Amino acid sequence: MKWFRIAVVGATGAVGQEILRTLEQRRFPVAKLRALASARSAGKTVKFAGEDVPVEELTAASFAEIDYALFSAGATRSREFAEPCVKSGAVMIDNSSAFRMRTDVPLVVPEINPGDLKTHRKIIAVPNCSAIILGVPLWPLHKAAGIERIIVSTYQSASGAGAQAMAELEAQVKAHAAGQPLTREVFPHQIAFNVFSHNTAIGQNGYNEEENKVIEETRKIFHEPKLPITATCIRVPVLRAHSESIVIETKRVLSPEEARQILTKAPGVRLVDDRAKNHFPMPLEATGQYDVLVGRIRKDLSHPRGLALFVSGDQLLKGAAWNAVQILEELTRAERKM
């Protein structure tokens, strides 16, 4: 088995920490680990495989003797360091939005389009978390019955905005319980005991940035550039794991029973659909899970070929870290078997 030299960019952040844990849990053969972050984090340590790994400042020279670099430090850093990363010979697996819609960069969810990895030019993009959680359960249904339209409403947790946003939710809850004023720094509105439209700018088409990402990226991942999709993305006071209410219209009738059979066998999906006990996907149960939980599968009474379902998936894992590590595993599969 070959062992690999890995860099994690943004190693001290919420996604970076999950990447380190996932690499360890998956027992990925890491010969050398370089933990990279901003100058203010340099000198700290992160845990990996029972050892304290020193955090180094991210520079253009950070990628020397690195095989794969997993980036989770935001689009600005990804754009800044993509060229030195690639020139060093490392393959960049990027969790930011920097390169997702570039035609020469594959946008990959391994359960859906692993074949697109064959076209990479040393940069591979991890899709938006909501697009991943939407796509994993819908892809097998699309292959079976041909999806003609998607209507999705997201219920997005604080984790989507990072560790500081999660801390802000916890702090507001504690302040409310203590009868103290609630302060906000990360979100534009109070997140505790409240819901609001996703905190990204509204585009000229009336959709916010997150909604446009879900639409455009799903089309690219599915290789369906004209697939009709409408999205509404909402922040909810949940610490971790996103949920989505989904309605699809298919080319042929897809019964709830057939959909359940398909999803039971689908990779990356776990069926949670107990009508008798009213037990369906919840972010609390999706937290810490690699799979996307799927349930509430029922006929859409408003359309003869419509199907409704509800999903929950861990934004930090399947929506980011786990998807990146899956890509890494896919790229190295042959070498790891040697």
Categorise residue 4: left if φ over 0, alpha if ψ from -120 to 50, beta otherwise.
Answer: beta
Q: How far apart are CA 11 and CA 31, in angstroms?
A: 17
Place of tokens 């003797």: 65
**Residue whose C-alpha is closest to residue 23's, from 58, 53, 64:** 53
Q: Given strand 51-57, what is the order of strands in its sheet?
A: 45-48, 51-57, 30-37, 4-9, 68-71, 91-94, 123-125
Q: Helix, strand, coil % (nearest 5) of the chain?
A: 35, 25, 40
**H or E element in which residue 51 lies:** strand 51-57
Q: How far apart are CA 152 and CA 287, in angstroms?
A: 21
Q: How far apart are CA 281 and CA 294, in angstroms?
A: 6
Q: Tell me the β-bridge partners of 20.
A: none
The tokens for 260 are 């359940």
DSSP 275-331: TTTTB---HHHHTT-SSEEEEEEEE-TTSTTEEEEEEEE-TTIIIIIHHHHHHHHHH
Q: How far apart are CA 279 and CA 274, in angstroms?
A: 5
Q: In this structure, are strands 147-156 and 229-235 parallel, antiparallel, or unpaired?
A: parallel
Name the residues annotated as catalytic: 129, 242
**To 10 degrees, what angle do helices 322-336 and 14-25 make?**
30
